[in-house]
Amino acid sequence: MKTRFAPSVLSLAIVASFGAFANDYASIDTYEGKPASEHTINANAAVAKTLPWNDTTAFDRTKRGLIAEFGTHEAGELKNRFEYMTDMSVNDLPPTVNPSIWRQGMLNYAAGGLYEVTDGVYQIRGADLSNMTIYRSDNGYVIHDPLLSREAAAASWEFAKQHLPAINGEHKITGMIYSHMHADHFGGSRGVFESGDFAADAEIYAPNDFIKELADENVIAGTAMGRRANYQYGTTLDTNTKGIVDNALGLGTSRGEVTLVAPTEEIEEREKLITIDGLDFLAINMPGAEAPAELVLYVPEYRSLNTAELTYDGMHNIYTFRGAKVRDSLVWTKYLTELKMRFVDSGLVDNIHAAHSAPVWNDANSETNEISDYMTLQRDNYGFIHNQAMRLANHGVTIHDVGREIEKIVPQSQIDTWHTNGYHGSYSHNARAVVNLYLGYHDMNPVNTNPLQTTEKSCVYVEAAGADAFYKAGMKHFNAGEYQEASQLFNDLVQCEPSNIKYRFALADSFEQQGYQSETMAWRNSYLQGAVELRTGDIQPSIKLASPDVIANTPTGMFLDFIAVSLNAPKAEAAGLDFNFGVYHPDLGERYYGEVSNANMANIQVDELPKVDFELIIHKTDFTKVVLGETSLEDLIKSGQAGVKGDAELLTKLAGTLDSFDGMFEILPMPKK
């Protein structure tokens, strides 16, 4: 039901709500968002009129090749969580959702089952955020990207076995390939590996530096990244029209255990022809674009190209809100140009399929090359952002302004194309990421050379104008539907007075309406998650990005780097820590050397250890158990499973200076307790 208010009534209702409903948000379990304002209703209706609704080709591609729908099978658990989308229609657009992301949710919801890409190539779509691709080999099947969780992967493979032909009387898994090192492309690996179908001699392939880059992205900043991911993915939001409606790359993520069966081979060469049970794959490393380590596959027997995550039905992130290294959009365009010229324009493929979204095929009855057109638009989307962001930067447009400026000049060809819309990335934050890659965060305005801290800066403004004047100005903007301007003022008030319920609810209301109007998934979720925390004062536990399997496969040098990050410099200085040390893993024959000096810690891997103040001797497997909290170093030393040569007291002193991270830090100020 669409609830509409006359603007004057709406304004009175909102003003009253700040004080009247403070107790409505006492529990996260009973939390419910507010209706769309008249301004939001009108804004979303205006957007709807600009969208190319007549173009339904993506829905046609999504439905093509369906072998079997999930139905009540547990592989369809993800779709069951989004059952409210069953009646989704472009004729009944909810006022609390930007119509463009609503349509993307409809598209992702339409996928749910086993599909044939071409004879010999199959995909499970709609069981998780990513696709599981299955290739038929001589004696079985090769699994590509086994989803995010053990449970989703196991259920999906069992579902596929019900509908794919047995080969020599069985459904043997003859190999597995990870396209890249994001968790939704390897996290379900144990669900496949332990299915009982995995051949004893089956290899697991991954791109060059897979383990290194996986650990690098999830360990050093893992705690902060997990907390930030709460906002990007809206972890406390319900799946409804006032909460999560889509996750851009797919409907959502499965629930379960993230696992990792380590690859048996990382492909170090730029490209390499690998043969798995008689089926050839040309594996091409294309790092530094969508992921620091990523493989694209050309499968000549099936005239197919797997583009990994270099293409999907939407604009991808150049920068991701949860936090990761900024991606190189220029390199991305060069990879897509290479793939287009080498495999598509030359006529070597009949389809491209990817880690997300439905494949793209060429129509034998059409004179156009649909795949070439698709890849050209995808490439030019990233190329436009890169080139125009830097053109504007070279004219002096700063990192803070380039997002708004680039939105003004988006070409009509991209506006009229669904698969270049900003569902995962956006023109605005991607353009800022490009400028940051080249020029960094500083806009060169001297006032930002040594900026005040966040709270100090806000209080300077509030104290100068007066809190009442600030609040009245914020409400004037809010009632005019100028929600970002309202948020700017309300945020300063909250920063200065975090416990003021009136200010907190005002900021929450302004965030919420911006979330309802946002096309980009991360924008919507961040605004709405911010509103939840402002209203409830509740911070939920963070997403854990480093699973036990990931930790077990993380090199010890990276854990020593993390210990260095955990070192509390003032405590280390006060303790006068100044020593060197070694770590030796007898089971691997690995040695590490480290120094603690000047309130800092540094380490490297070495072949021979110089003279040190102490050496810790511990098996890598036991070291992993300590990191996971399954045992303590003290207990291992007492039992003789680990040992220390030299001054063991230094190890105790070091431990006393290390911080622990719980991932429960504030993003928006919480009420004072």
CATH number at residue 614: 3.30.1050.10
> Predicted confidence band at 7 (pLDDT cuts at 50, 70, 90)?
very low
In a domain, 350, yes or no: yes
Helices (H), 82-209: 99-110, 150-163, 189-193
pLDDT exceeds cutoff 60 at 180: yes
Q: Please check whether residues 252 and 337 belong to one and the same domain.
A: yes
Give me the pLDDT at residue 24, please: 67
Measured distance CA(57)–CA(361) in Å, rounded:
11
Give me the pLDDT at residue 187, please: 95
* Overall average pLDDT of the 462-473 stretch: 97
User: What percent of the chain is modeled with pLDDT above 90?
Assistant: 85
In a domain, 126, yes or no: yes
- Of the residues 536, 571, 598, the one at which a domain ends: 536
In a domain, 97, yes or no: yes
Give me the pLDDT at residue 5, please: 30
- Each residue of 572-628: pLDDT tens digit? 999 999 999 999 999 999 999 999 999 999 999 999 999 999 999 999 999 988 888
Secondary structure of 490-511 in HEC code, one letter for each residue: HHHHHHHCCCCHHHHHHHHHHH
User: What percent of the chain is modeled with pLDDT above 70?
Assistant: 96
Mean pLDDT of the chain: 93
Sheet holding 198-207, edge to edge: 66-69, 113-118, 121-125, 132-136, 141-144, 173-177, 198-207, 265-267
Q: Please check whether residues 577 and 510 belong to one and the same domain.
A: no
pLDDT exceeds cutoff 50 at 8: no
> Predicted confidence band at 13 (pLDDT cuts at 50, 70, 90)?
very low
pLDDT exceeds cutoff 70 at 17: no
Q: Please check whether residues 221 and 319 belong to one and the same domain.
A: yes
Measured distance CA(552)–CA(108) in Å, rounded:
34
Measured distance CA(402)–CA(432) in Å, rounded:
6
In a domain, 453, yes or no: yes
CA-based nearest residue to 352, from 72, 131, 159: 131
- Range scoring the smallest mean pLDDT among 6-20, 313-327, 376-390: 6-20
DSSP 178-243: --BSSGGGTTTHHHHHTSS-EEEEEEEEEETTHHHHHHHHHTTTHHHHHHHHHHHTTTT--SSTTS
Domain of residue 496: give its range.
7-47+448-536
Q: Please check whether residues 594 and 618 belong to one and the same domain.
A: yes
CA-based nearest residue to 358, from 593, 609, 116: 116
CB proximity list for 259: less than 8 A, separation 6 or greater = 149, 150, 187, 188, 189, 190, 191, 547, 549
Tokens linked to 412: 């009509």
Report the interhelical angle of 467-479 vs 483-496 (nearest 10°).
150
Residue bearing the bigger pLDDT, 83 or 402 = 402
Give me the pLDDT at residue 642, please: 94
- Each residue of 68-88: pLDDT tens digit? 999 999 999 998 888 888 877
Q: Please check whether residues 455 and 309 belong to one and the same domain.
A: no
> Predicted confidence band at 545 (pLDDT cuts at 50, 70, 90)?
low
* Overall average pLDDT of the 496-506 stretch: 97
In a domain, 401, yes or no: no
- CB-count burial class (<10 Å; 0-12, 13-18, 19+) for 86: exposed
φ, ψ dihedrals at 39, nearest 5°: -65, -40
Measured distance CA(656)–CA(505) in Å, rounded:
41
Q: Please check whether residues 485 and 527 belong to one and the same domain.
A: yes
Give me the pLDDT at residue 344, please: 97
CB proximity list for 655: less than 8 A, separation 6 or greater = none
- Each residue of 343-352: pLDDT tens digit? 999 999 999 9
Report the interhelical angle of 556-566 vs 210-218 (nearest 10°).
20
Tokens linked to 436: 């940051």
Q: Please check whether residues 198 and 310 belong to one and the same domain.
A: yes
Q: Please check whether residues 517 and 625 belong to one and the same domain.
A: no
SS3 state of residue 306: strand
Other CB atoms within 10 A of residue 472 CB: 12
pLDDT exceeds cutoff 50 at 312: yes
SS3 state of residue 512: helix
pTM for this one? Answer: 0.93
In a domain, 605, yes or no: yes
In a domain, 403, yes or no: no
Measured distance CA(616)–CA(613) in Å, rounded:
10
DSSP 261-280: PPPSEEE-SSEEEEEETTEE
Q: Please check whether residues 36 and 63 belong to one and the same domain.
A: no
Measured distance CA(167)–CA(571) in Å, rounded:
63
Pairing, β 265-267 against β 198-207: parallel
CB-hemisphere CA count at 13 Å for 14?
30
pLDDT exceeds cutoff 50 at 196: yes
pLDDT exceeds cutoff 50 at 644: yes
Give me the pLDDT at residue 157, please: 98
Query: 464: domain CATH number?
Result: 1.25.40.880
- Each residue of 407-435: pLDDT tens digit? 999 999 999 999 999 999 999 999 999 99
Cβ contact 191:628 at 8 Å: no
Q: Please check whether residues 263 and 176 belong to one and the same domain.
A: yes
Q: Please check whether residues 116 and 89 belong to one and the same domain.
A: yes
DSSP 167: B
Q: Please check whether residues 593 and 473 belong to one and the same domain.
A: no
Cβ contact 126:102 at 8 Å: no
SS3 state of residue 579: strand
Tokens linked to 248: 């851009």
Counting the structural domains of the chain, the total is 3
CB proximity list for 382: less than 8 A, separation 6 or greater = 315, 316, 318, 329, 332, 333, 336
CB proximity list for 95: less than 8 A, separation 6 or greater = 2, 3, 35, 36, 40, 41, 44, 516
Tokens linked to 253: 């993520």
* Overall average pLDDT of the 440-466 stretch: 96
- Each residue of 323-373: pLDDT tens digit? 888 999 999 999 999 999 999 999 999 999 999 999 999 987 777 899 999
DSSP 254: -
Residue bearing the bigger pLDDT, 629 or 391 = 391
